[in-house]
Chains A and B, each alone.
Chain A
């Protein structure tokens, strides 16, 4: 899309959806257009407001940082700018990544463009809305327990949670450091491949970034698929899953079979423990990461955290406190080890696993906000991958009868983004769910 088209769309949807926290002025954006041709020259994009951008307000959607002007920039932002991409805005989200609906924000809830009375998903609701409403060609999200995949599925776009360490986290405001991943979200798997090529790879500023070589994700998309087996964990398609989502994914399964992919039923009996593992370890890490916000060197005082953030800090503090550490934190870290084995076993029987992203279509705004436990269960399908580190590609695969998007995810082996994107590309050549646009 051209920069002009994007700004027209921003003008049209920003107030209606509340997706933006900061819009970069058009004059400022145009100034950054480079004459030299490079890989993403002139491609407009937005960032979740969890990435520090030098001299551009960065809030993590929290009043704690509402007037924070970073003195440096995140690696992912620097790499994209270096490749010629143009930043148009910083997007609304659940504050600090704490949530799955983009309602836990001090900047007002993000509304779903397919039905403005419903949530856009979270924590990266704003980035997903920007992509599906053509305010940008792509967005950079951050996935700790579904924050890229969940809004991608509820908004009808493609989102990639990368392998832990595939993309540098330097300058990404930390939620849970051992789960946090930086990844692209766009209309298509092909676009995600193009972006990943630019942002992946070792960064001396992030010691956890991997030094594994970065494959030619784009070049590999069109290669023959070869003999592939996709696992179908039968217990994940039972009770608790909305029937329309189930039917849509069964249809996608048949589509994949048409391409010669073998579907194999597998079992993941530990899967339902993903939510408790996540909701002990992530709050523990966040209680430590958010300890630095004291309003002294930057930002405002701790009374400014939202209720959801205060709850997570306290759950984590409790799980790490003397007398409870073994029963909660250590126990969760042990079950994390079992999860790694569970995924290794599943992925030894197949090349990737197909599963839902959300148990239900997007709920109404306000429906989950006062029920913290129900809200946790909405993350059922997306929390167990992060403790393990495996990559997952969320793809649009249908709509409910009432016109709400449905997504599915392909979960792969460590560093198998190339294969996931290849299958995603093939699926999107044969389907048009990812091309549909909400009427706003």
Chain B
């Protein structure tokens, strides 16, 4: 496993020590789960959920009971500005 690539996909900042440690541990875990390759699954339909339900709808109405006020919505944010969340920059300045 390309640990740096996977950590990047997962948006996980890893230390050099973690990269080394996880590399061996994840290989061991993948070896264990790879046992599944032994099970024949030709033409078996994959299962993604077991609710037994289909098309669960609700009325297209605003549920005022669940709406947070702006202050409540921001109440756990570390950084806010004029009633907004402050998010990390995603574009560079020089373009």
Contacts and interface: CB of A to CB of B under 8 A. Distances in A.
Contacts of A266: none
16 contacts: A71-B72, A165-B51, A178-B48, A204-B58, A208-B53, A279-B29, A301-B13, A314-B22, A318-B30, A321-B6, A331-B36, A331-B41, A334-B45, A335-B39, A335-B41, A387-B47
B76 A299 contact: yes
Interface of A: 68-69, 71-72, 164-165, 178, 204-205, 207-208, 210, 270, 273, 275-277, 279-280, 287, 291, 294-303, 305, 307, 310-311, 313-315, 317-318, 321, 327-328, 330-338, 340, 372-373, 376, 387-389, 414
Interface string B26-39: 10111011111101
A276 B33 contact: yes
A247 B35 CA distance: 30
A405 B30 CA distance: 33
Contact of B45 (A276, A315, A337): A337
B87 interface: yes
Given A302-B13, A310-B18, A388 B28 contact: no
A330 B46 contact: yes
B62 interface: no
A399 B13 CA distance: 45
Contacts of A164: 50-51
B92 to A, nearest CB: 19
Interface of B: 1, 3, 6-7, 9-14, 18, 21-22, 25-26, 28-30, 32-37, 39, 41, 44-53, 56, 58, 66, 68, 72-73, 75-78, 85-88
A279 B29 CA distance: 8
The 8 closest A-B pairs by CB, nearest first: A333-B46, A298-B76, A389-B50, A334-B41, A276-B33, A317-B10, A207-B56, A334-B44
A388 B50 CA distance: 7
Nearest to B56: A207
Contacts of B32: 275-276, 279, 373, 376
A287 to B, nearest CB: 6
B13 A315 contact: no
B36 A276 contact: yes
Contact of A317 (B6, B56, B87, B88): B6
Contacts of A276: 32-36
Given A69-B76, A333-B48, A335-B41, A314 B12 contact: yes
A310 B3 CA distance: 12
A295 B11 CA distance: 12
A314 B26 contact: yes
A317 B9 contact: yes
A296 B29 contact: no
Nearest to B68: A71
Contacts of B58: 204, 207
